[in-house]
């Protein structure tokens, strides 16, 4: 039996969440279960729980994002949470940022196949695109990395008074405490743990929200951005 054949039928709630883009959500799930596994983007054991643990878990992040803002999904990987978010929120301008070629190739194929005109795929690391990509309102992250490290990658990409939304698990509160000093140095003015997906996912999706002030990334990153801006003007 192929990995694609093991993909379970979409739960009824998925039709409500994805609405008219539900067929595209199904196609994306099929791509993850087939090409995603073959290319090593997700593990085969994830296929039976793709809907609950991945697609729906990511789609409900939309509850925490304002209308019409710009979003950068840092370390997008196989497109989680960026692709599910794009399917439920056509009002967002989303950038999928990913350093590995095999992943950006897959992401580009998915974006083109699903006709996600409001999504752009960029290959690179967060620290490499700093000053090259326009600052965004919201950074999303689902990478398996400590909050301090995620914030170091994502916060400098924000506009002043933007926010980073990191999907986390049961250790969210502990990570926030451990990263408190580092977040402050990165320009964070408020950090909270919120849960989204009531009536859709169980357990609820846990999100760490990091809000920044005038200088996202802190003094060091502000200086780096200024140098990059001057370099662009000279060109």
Task: Walk along the chain (235 residues) and give the pLDDT tens digit of each residue.
Answer: 343 448 999 999 999 999 999 999 999 999 999 999 999 999 999 999 999 999 999 999 999 999 999 999 999 999 999 999 999 999 999 999 999 999 999 999 999 999 999 999 999 999 999 889 999 999 999 977 899 999 999 999 999 999 999 999 889 999 999 999 999 999 999 999 999 999 999 999 999 999 999 999 886 676 666 676 666 677 6
Lateral strand order in the sheet of 158-168: 119-123, 93-98, 70-74, 136-141, 158-168, 205-212, 188-196
Under 8 Å CB-to-CB from 201, ≥6 apart: which residues? 52, 56, 57, 60
pTM: 0.92
Cα gap 180→230, rounded to integer Å: 32
Q: Are 71 and 137 in contact (CB under 8 A)?
A: yes
């Amino acid at each position: 039996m192929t990995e694609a054949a093991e993909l379970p039928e979409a739960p009824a709630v998925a039709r409500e969440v994805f609405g008219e883009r539900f067929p595209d959500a199904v196609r994306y799930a099929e791509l993850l279960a087939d090409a995603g596994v073959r290319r090593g983007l997700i593990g085969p054991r994830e296929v039976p729980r793709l809907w609950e643990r991945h697609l729906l878990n990511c789609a409900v992040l939309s509850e925490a994002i304002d209308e019409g803002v710009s979003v950068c999904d840092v370390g997008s990987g196989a497109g989680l949470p960026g692709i599910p978010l794009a399917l439920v929120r056509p009002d967002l301008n989303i950038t999928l940022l990913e350093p590995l070629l095999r992943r950006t190739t897959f992401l580009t194929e998915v974006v083109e196949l699903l006709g996600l005109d409001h999504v752009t795929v960029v290959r690179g690391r967060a620290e490499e695109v700093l000053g090259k990509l326009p600052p965004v309102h919201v950074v999303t992250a689902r990478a398996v990395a400590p909050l301090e490290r995620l914030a170091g990658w994502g916060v400098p990409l924000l506009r002043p008074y933007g926010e980073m939304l990191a999907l986390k698990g049961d250790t969210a509160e502990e990570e926030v405490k451990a990263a408190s000093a580092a977040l402050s140095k990165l320009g964070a003015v408020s950090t909270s743990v919120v849960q989204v997906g009531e009536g859709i996912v169980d357990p609820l999706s846990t999100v760490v929200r990091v809000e920044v002030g005038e200088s996202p990334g802190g003094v060091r990153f502000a200086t780096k951005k200024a140098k990059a801006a001057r370099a662009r003007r000279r060109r």
